[in-house]
Amino acid sequence: MSAAVSTADLSDPRIPLRAHLRHTGALVRRNLLWIRQDPESMFDAVFMPIVFTLLFVYVFGGSIGQALGGGQDRYVQYVVPGLLAMMSMTMAQGVGTGFNQDFNSGVMDRFRSLPIGRGSVLVAKIVVELLRMLVATAILLVVGVLVGFDITDWGGLAAAVGLAVVFGSGLMWVFLTLGVTMKSAQSVQAMGFLVMMPLQFGSSVFAPTGTMPGWLQSFTDYNPISSLADAARGLMTGGPVAHDLWLTLGWSVVLTAVMAPVAIHKFRTKS
């Protein structure tokens, strides 16, 4: 989790913490069994990192690599950490869509009629989505190595993946809130698209920001996806890390602290 949400926020005061943990574990198992019965739900986690890596490396690698002072090999070193940041955001959207579908199918009505902590339902969804994110990240790194990505610092790689997980968990509270408040999964996807596109392409994920207009560079300076991409790049390939690392952690804490109570409240009161 990107920040510790207080027990009072996540729990029903009548249910002890141990029971909340037990409920969360049971719900995680239920969600994993659902994925086992519906393996097509993993298609985005499996194929998206493959498609995006091959697309950006082989379509844009030559031209952007030259701008970076190298060629395609140089661009691979640049874009793979950026794709790691993008993956944390893209996978986070799935938790809101799935949550909304559970509401519309009546599953959440059943959960809310049971004597379980409301926060356990949401935390279980986040845990399973983080596991899906790790699968997507592993595939991204394998494909990245196959196209030439050079892993020189395994500790830095682990730290970058951990940072992406922390940020992704904070972002998932935003999409959980959308999943509760919006009427359909399509509307959640549409809103997620409107949020993600400016953040992803108005960032340093795919290309350096030095040639962007001044107003867009100002946007990228405060874009959390840029901070995550630059921090991951510094951890995985070397370079300055501290500023972007702390900025990403700050965004993660703020997103969790603000949106987790909102998501839980909306879940409790949704009619």
Element (H, E) at 162: helix 154-181
Out of 83-87, 143-147, 196-200, least confident range: 196-200
Residue 133, domain extent: 17-269
Q: Give the pLDDT of residue 1.
A: 46
Q: What angle do CA 150, 152, 156 make, to 5 degrees?
A: 115
Q: Is 144 left (phi over 0), alpha (psi -120 to 50) or beta?
A: alpha
Q: 260: closest CA among 32, 52, 33, 8? A: 8
- Reported confidence tier of residue 140, pLDDT bands at 50, 70, 90: very high
What pLDDT score does 230 carry?
94
Amino acid at 25: G
pLDDT at position 113, please? 65
CA 79 from chain center: how many Å? 17
Residue 12 lies in a domain: no
Is 125 within the bounds of a domain?
A: yes
The residue behind tokens 């190298």 is 70
* Residue from 5, 19, 228 nearest 126 by CA: 5
Is 8 within a domain?
Answer: no
Contacts of 72 (CB under 8 A, 6+ apart): 57, 58, 61, 62, 65, 148
Nearest CA to 180 out of 113, 86, 109, 251 is that of 109
Residue 98 covered by a domain:
yes
Q: Is 105 exposed, middle or buried (0-12, 13-18, 19+ CB in 10 A)?
A: exposed
In a domain, 7, yes or no: no
pLDDT band, residue 13 (cuts 50/70/90): low
Cα–Cα–Cα angle for 41, 98, 82, rounded to 5 degrees: 70
Let me know if residue 3 belongs to a domain.
Answer: no
Residue 121 lies in a domain: yes
What does the pLDDT read at residue 14?
Answer: 60
Provide the 8-state DSSP code for 71: -
- Count the domains in the chain: 1
Q: How far apart are CA 25 and CA 85, in angstroms?
A: 27
Give pLDDT, residue 6.
42
Cβ partners under 8 Å of residue 246, min gap 6:
none
Dist CA 128 CA 182 (whole Å): 22
Handedness of CA 116, 121, 123, 128 (dihedral sign): positive
Residue in this structure with the two tokens 């060629």, named with its chain if needed: 71
Q: How large is the average pLDDT for residues 28-52?
A: 88
Mean pLDDT of the chain: 85
Average pLDDT, stretch 262-269?
A: 84
Q: In the structure encoding, which two tokens stand for residue 116, read together?
A: 């379980």
pLDDT at 133: 93
Q: Is residue 4 part of a domain?
A: no
Q: How far apart are CA 106 and CA 111, in angstroms?
A: 9
Q: CB–CB of 88/166 below 8 Å?
A: no
Residue 52: what pLDDT? 93
